[in-house]
Chain A
Amino acid sequence: MGVMDFLMQGFQTAIQPQNLFFAFIGVLIGTAVGVLPGIGPMSGVALLIPVTATFTSGMDPSAAATSSIILLAGVYYGAMYGGSTTSILLNTPGESSSVVTTLDGYQMARQGRAGAALSIAAIGSFFAGIVSIIGLVLLAEPLSEVALKFGPAEYFSLMLLGLAAVSGLAGGSITKAWMMTVTGLLIATIGIDAVSGVARFTYDIPVLFGGLEFLTVAVGLFALGEVFKTVLHKEEDAEKVAKVGRVISSKADLKESAGPIARGSFLGFFIGVLPGAGATLASFFSYIAEKKISKNPDKFGKGAIAGVAAPESANNAASGGAMIPLLTLGIPGSGTTAILMGALIMYNVQPGPLLFSDHPDVAWGLIASMFIGNLMLLLLNMPLVKVFAKIIETPAKYLLPIIIAISVFGVYAVQVTTFDLFLLIGFGLAGYLLAQNDYPIAPLVLGLVLGPMIENNMRRALTTSNGDFMVFIQQPISAFFLVCAVLWILIPFVLRLRGKEVVVNVEG
């Protein structure tokens, strides 16, 4: 069967009523998550895992996994659409990948062109979404075929490369990023060892035998951490929301933005595929690139439509591109994809090269649903942007306690122990303190998700080599990955020594 056949099958899965419904709910909540400042895509997705888990509890495992991942991915790329709304109307980015959109978007809004900015952001996001899904369709098969040839040594090195990439770009201090990664890996060792069946660090406490649940840790660190931060720091501020006006693009606007949208989409897609570099970097780079290419760069920062079109396309394309290493290699390149991966593993669906042969319905159903989801988003965002703009006015005093309540409900509904609730609150506090002091959290979650797989592959590789650690260097592909990982750490380090400023990813 060719790619097209698989894709058609995927569409058959995606247009099943419940999956259409899940895609719709996903993009709807995603847009809301993007609009609300304080809840980023990471905490949004983390928060919804338990909710989707309960919604899909009656289905058979494979269908449940498909429906959930369709919804969760919808939240992810929906947030990229929604993030632009607050950037343009309020000058406050809904999430970090829309930071650069504020530069020109808010200026446009002040000039009374908010509607034009919003509509070009939606159109650009749609185009970029489609480009990245086509890229995903074309690259998925060949990449997973290459990955099928990997042995444990190659996998171990590839995952190290993934960790190195995310940690290297994760924030101000590389030391802190690595500490978070290692802590995540260490936490992952708690529980029964999958290879030998030996209990580790459990001290005969029954709840520890299964290990610390990924879900509890992720919801605590991201969702509760952000809630605690807002509770402590947010002052009540009544910001003025700019008038939206007519949400329609004029021909002149479309003509002017066609180039930036196309360039932003391709640039964003390739940045998204790279592990570690996510939507934030993509939007940043595409903005700089447009400014360099532009005939009149002075207009940037004063309401240039290209300054909205390019980064908004790029961040959407990047979120699609980031799905490629996740689905084909089983290596999440960012915090949000790490959470998506954790969700898939919860359903016993292992992302990676075997995903396309073992669970074609999940993989292709997801890809097809992303086409549909993007279409839904375009239709939702053009006429309904005024409704979403109203969400900004949701009072924080109701929103924050309800987020805590949803977290508690979600974790309790899945885990059914109060131990996990206390763990949730504990990780929420830790998440707040760590993020407040520039410890990036995404690497910790990545370490937690990848930990068991890294360990298993390492031990399997060492078993075949009779405990000889040289095996990782003797295999050429594995050695190549390790060299890349080392370079990824060393190059920013050298650049910094030479006094160059290194662009880092704020969110991961």
Chain B
Amino acid sequence: MQTRKFDRYASILFALLGATFLIESRNISKSAYGSEVGPNVFPFLLGLILILLSVKLFLESFKNIQKEIKNKETIQIKRFVIILTASLLYAGFIETLGYVLSTFLFLFISFQAMERGSWIKNGIIALAFSFFVYYLFVVVLEGSLPGMPIWFS
């Protein structure tokens, strides 16, 4: 994506973010016990500044003809999408599937997505990592991580 185009969209997004904080800060109570300046002032000012900066960036993105010498790289979108999806599923299912199982699945899928390789070798590394972390954290350090799902054990 071209940086200038990105800047234009980003400036709109940041302006919206600033506006959200600006408007929402008016719903915060203005007075505060023991403080002359209420809790609404700081976010209000910051929201205002962010909007002004976004406007500045928006204008700059037109006049500033930046040197776009970024040589065309091959973007590996496929493996990125797989890994991102796997990460999201990992985050979503870590509590239902338990730490060891979800980590193993995530690592195994990601290893394969990065580079198709030997199932056994990848599987062993993924399994070793998830068991090692679980053992170290739960058994040695007595921390708490979601264990195996009930139907599994």
Closest Cβ of chain A to B128, distance in Å, is 11
Given contacts A397-B114, A408-B91, contact A413 B137 (CB under 8 A): yes
Spot the interface stretch: A135-143, A194-202, A312-320, A326-334: A194-202
Q: Count A interface residues, CB 8 Å.
A: 61
Tell me, in angstroms, the Cα distance from A195 to B40 when the chains sit together. Answer: 12
Query: Chain A residue with minimal CB distance to B141?
Result: A54
Select B60's contact among A175, A397, A408, A424, beta carbons within 8 Å.
A175
Asked whether any CB of chain B lies closer than 8 Å to the CB of A145, the reply is no
Tell me if B137 and A54 are in contact (CB < 8 A).
Answer: yes
The CA of A385 and the CA of B35, in the complex, are separated in Å by 57
Are the CB atoms of A400 and B107 closer together than 8 Å?
Answer: no
Mask for B43-58, Cβ within 8 A of A = 1, else 0? 1001101100110110
A466–B37 alpha-carbon span in the complex (Å): 9
Inter-chain contact A418/B42, CB cutoff 8 Å: no
- Contact in complex: A463, B106 (CB < 8 Å): no
In the complex, the answer to whether A231 meets B114 with C-beta atoms within 8 Å is yes
A356 to B: closest C-beta gap in Å:
29
Q: Which of A193, A395, A438 has the most CB of B within 10 A?
A: A193
B residues within 8 A CB of A413? 137, 143, 145
CA distance A424 to B125 in the complex (A): 24
- Chain B positions within 8 Å of A405 at CB level: 103, 106-107, 129-130, 133
B29 near A: Cβ within 8 Å? yes
Q: Which of B37-79 contact A (CB under 8 A)?
A: 37-39, 41-43, 46-47, 49-50, 53-54, 56-57, 60, 73-77, 79
Residues A195 and B32 in contact, CB atoms below 8 Å apart:
yes
Residues from chain B with Cβ under 8 Å of A21 in the complex: none
Q: Are B43 and A425 in contact (CB under 8 A)?
A: no
Q: Which residues of A contact B90 (CB under 8 A)?
A: 408, 421
The 6 nearest A-B residue pairs measured at CB: A401-B110, A196-B32, A421-B91, A397-B114, A193-B39, A463-B36
Q: Can you list 29 pairs linking A and B with CB atoms under 8 Å apart? A: A176-B7, A179-B50, A179-B53, A179-B57, A183-B14, A185-B46, A186-B46, A195-B39, A196-B32, A196-B33, A200-B39, A201-B24, A228-B80, A400-B83, A401-B110, A401-B111, A405-B107, A408-B87, A409-B99, A409-B133, A412-B94, A412-B145, A413-B143, A424-B91, A425-B87, A437-B1, A459-B37, A462-B36, A462-B37
